[in-house]
Amino acid sequence: MRVKHFKLFIDGEFCGGRSTFEDINPATGQVIAKVEEAGPEEVDRAVAAAKRALSGPWGKLSVSERASLLHKVADGIMARFDDFLRAEIEDTGKPVSWASAVDIPRGAANFRIFADQIKTMGVPAFHQDTADGLGALHYVSRRPVGVVSVICPWNLPLLLMTWKVAPALAAGNALVVKPSEETPATATLLAEVMRDVGVPPGVFNVVHGFGPGSAGEAMTTHKDVAAITFTGESATGQAIMRNAASGLKKLSFELGGKNPALVFADADFEAAIAGTMRSVFSNCGQVCLCSERVYVERSVFDRFVEELAKRASELRLGDPFDSATAMGPLISAGHREKVLSYYELAKSEGAEVVMGGGIPEMPAEYAAGSWVQPTIWTGLSNDARCLQEEVFGPVCHIMPFDSEDEAIALANDSDYGLAAAIWTQNLNRAHRVAAAMETGLVWVNTWFLRDLRTPFGGSKASGIGREGGEYSLNFYSETKNICIKH
Ligand code: NAD
């Protein structure tokens, strides 16, 4: 297999960095690409290019012109759908069934939704009475924040990157984007699309690299970066916040989760099982929204555990490009070490391992990949580390509860507050329990059903701010009040 070469994209040109690192396919363990790494010098060039772009042709485009360019970006992604799909699957090992239905189409949809929204979004206005009887008009105007650093994780690389890039561009900013070091491919392809559809040089820059001492840190400390939008681990969010403090940069953080699912006895059992299968095992458990804590009303507990374990044991692991494959590997050998350490910790904390808990037997082609077994635990108490810390793998713990109040208390007993899933057919209960969840998102009788206009984000250690629809556009804009006296 030919080893690819991913370069930096600065000021409209692909270029080299200060060194290179390897990009590995986690399904096979093979090196698939050599990647140029950006250090402070390259980040400085990217920020300078972005700053220039703001006062160049990009800064002079009308909103409609910007929106139509973003539609062209969406068209460009769809025109190269198969390239994006292959790149994403090789970088992550995720199954084609998921990547073709979620990652790539959502990557394009993100551009369309924000292009349309920016064109139709109004601004508030207020008439004020004044002592002279003439009054005044206040109205709000928005302008771009400036140069925005976009720092992304590896779990949904194109989807989560474009979730930030699209609204940030719709609002007129210029960007320096860093994909995760684990998944550099689709950001590089997106740079090609941006260039090919005529996004002016410097508007969209891609730098590859790591966090501390590398591109990530430089993007958070650079004096000309006005805002940082970050998705990743809560601990990384803390580091970025510290680095950004001296420059008082605007921050939007989408962080980790330890999400509860609550299954009541009055739920549609089949829907709850099927939904929980998705919410635990999708993308090998590597979605920030995945349920890692499942609480089930005692009268259906045994049946639920048995059925979930039966279906999880039927999950097909294997060739990510085979449409029958249901689960791929974890993202890397390092992440597998972490997940396996929780598999061991659960046992030492006294868990009953209902199924899984180890490394699956894989065919020779995948023997060096980062595969783990889907895993279900029971028997831990809510304060066990395995129920408090984010594992980010294909694993959940299932615990019985006896009352609605107990279920709510267990679900909220967490430092995190990203998403909750509730399974019940009782509408009153649905409203009550949803209102009581200390999370930014609640799904009732579904999971991961997204309308991109709605607010998305977490409370507690799961994030700061909300993205989605006008929430994103507000973050990526400087809001100005203009008061005119009559
Ligand atoms: P991570 O925090 O390790 O890395 C994310 C990005 O930050 C990478 O690009 C990395 O290079 C960069 N980075 C690391 N240290 C940095 C530093 N000091 N300064 C600047 N940049 C730095 O996260 P990950 O392992 O890539 O992603 C998994 C995590 O992301 C999980 O915790 C998951 O819950 C979370 N996540 C949250 C959401 C959400 O919307 N809330 C969505 C997806 C993933």
State in Å: Cα 177 to ligand 1 middle. Answer: 13
| Interface predicted TM-score of the whole assembly (ipTM), two decimals | 0.97
- Strand duo 463-464 + 227-231: pairing: unpaired
Q: Is residue 452 part of a domain?
A: no
Nearest to 396 by CA among 413, 379, 419, 415: 379
Centre of ligand 1 to C-alpha 153, Å, is 4
CATH number at residue 165: 3.40.605.10
How does DSSP assign 224-270, residue by residue?
T--EEEEES-HHHHHHHHHHHHTTT-EEEEE----EEEEE-TTS-HH
Question: Does ligand 1 have an atom closer than 6 angstroms to the CB of 392?
Answer: yes
pLDDT per position in the chain (486 positions), as tens? 789 999 999 999 999 999 999 999 999 999 999 999 999 999 999 999 999 999 999 999 999 999 999 999 999 999 999 999 999 999 999 999 999 999 999 999 999 999 999 999 999 999 999 999 999 999 999 999 999 999 999 999 999 999 999 999 999 999 999 999 999 999 999 999 999 999 999 999 999 999 999 999 999 999 999 999 999 999 999 999 999 999 999 999 999 999 999 999 999 999 999 999 999 999 999 999 999 999 999 999 999 999 999 999 999 999 999 999 999 999 999 999 999 999 999 999 999 999 999 999 999 999 999 999 999 999 999 999 999 999 999 999 999 999 999 999 999 999 999 999 999 999 999 999 999 999 999 999 999 999 999 999 999 999 999 999 999 999 999 999 999 999
What is the crossing angle of helices 404-412 and 427-436, to 10°?
A: 30
Residue 233 Cβ inside 6 Å of ligand 1? The answer reads yes
**Residue 336 one-letter amino acid:** R
Q: Do both 378 and 466 map to the same domain?
A: no
CA distances from 432 to 261, 407, 414, 422 (A): 15, 12, 19, 11
3-state secondary structure 162-210: HHHHHHHHHCCCEEEEECCCCCCHHHHHHHHHHHHHCCCCCCEEECCCC
Atom number in ligand 1 closest to CA 257:
34
Ligand 1 contact, 419 CB (< 6 A)? no
Confirm if 57 and 200 have CB atoms less than 8 A apart: yes
Extract the tokens encoding 413.
Answer: 């007993």
The per-residue pLDDT for range 373-385, each reduced to its tens digit, is 999 999 999 999 9
| 210 Cβ below 6 A of ligand 1 | yes
Q: What is the pLDDT of residue 390?
A: 98
| 214 CB near ligand 1 (under 6 Å) | no
Rounded to the nearest 5 degrees, what angle is found at the Cα of 98, between the Cα atoms of 96 and 100?
60
How far is residue 32's CA from residue 38's CA, in Å, rounded to a whole number? 19
pLDDT of residue 303: 98
Residues 207 and 318 both lie in one domain: no
Query: In 10 A of CB 428, how many CB atoms?
Result: 8
Tally of structural domains, the chain: 2
Same domain, 412 and 477: no
156 Cα–ligand 1 center, Å = 11
Question: In a mutational test of the pocket of ligand 1, which residue from 37, 151, 230 has the highest number of ligand atoms less than 8 Å from its CB?
Answer: 151
Q: Is residue 10 part of a domain?
A: yes
The 136-144 sheet, strands edge to edge:
125-128, 136-144, 477-485
Specify the residue with its C-alpha closest to ligand 1, atom 35: 232
CA-nearest of 252, 251, 284 to 369 is: 284
Structure token pair of residue 348: 């030492």
Residues 249 and 280 in one domain: no
- In sequence order, the β-bridge partners of residue 416 are 460
pLDDT tens for residues 395-422?
999 999 999 999 999 999 999 999 999 9
Q: How many CB atoms lie within 10 A of CB 266?
A: 14
The DSSP element (H or E) to which 298 belongs, if any, is: helix 298-313
> Do 389 and 467 belong to one domain?
no
Give the residue numbers spanning the domain of 344: 260-444
Is 390 close to ligand 1, i.e. is its CB under 6 Å away? yes
Instruction: Establish whether residue 458 lines the binding site of ligand 1, counting it when its CB lies within 6 angstroms of any ligand atom.
Output: yes
191 lies in the same domain as 51: yes
Yes or no: say if 254 and 234 are a contact pair by the CB < 8 Å rule. no
**Are 276 and 226 found together in one domain?**
no
* Domain co-membership, 384 together with 473: no
211 Cα to the center of ligand 1, angstroms:
9
Whether residues 436 and 469 fall in one domain: no
Asked whether residue 457 is domain-assigned, the answer is no
Helix (H, G, I), strand (E, B) or coil at 12: coil
Q: What is the CATH number of the domain that holds 313?
A: 3.40.309.10
Q: What is the pLDDT of residue 1?
A: 76
Measured in angstroms, how far is the CA atom of residue 74 from the centroid of ligand 1?
A: 25
Contact 204, 110 (CB under 8 A): no
State how far Cα 211 lies from the chain centre. 17
Is 321 found in the same domain as 186?
no
The pLDDT score that the predictor gives to residue 280 is 98
Residue 254 bears catalytic tag: yes
Smallest Cα–Cα separation from 298: which of 435, 395, 410?
410
One domain, residues 268 and 367: yes
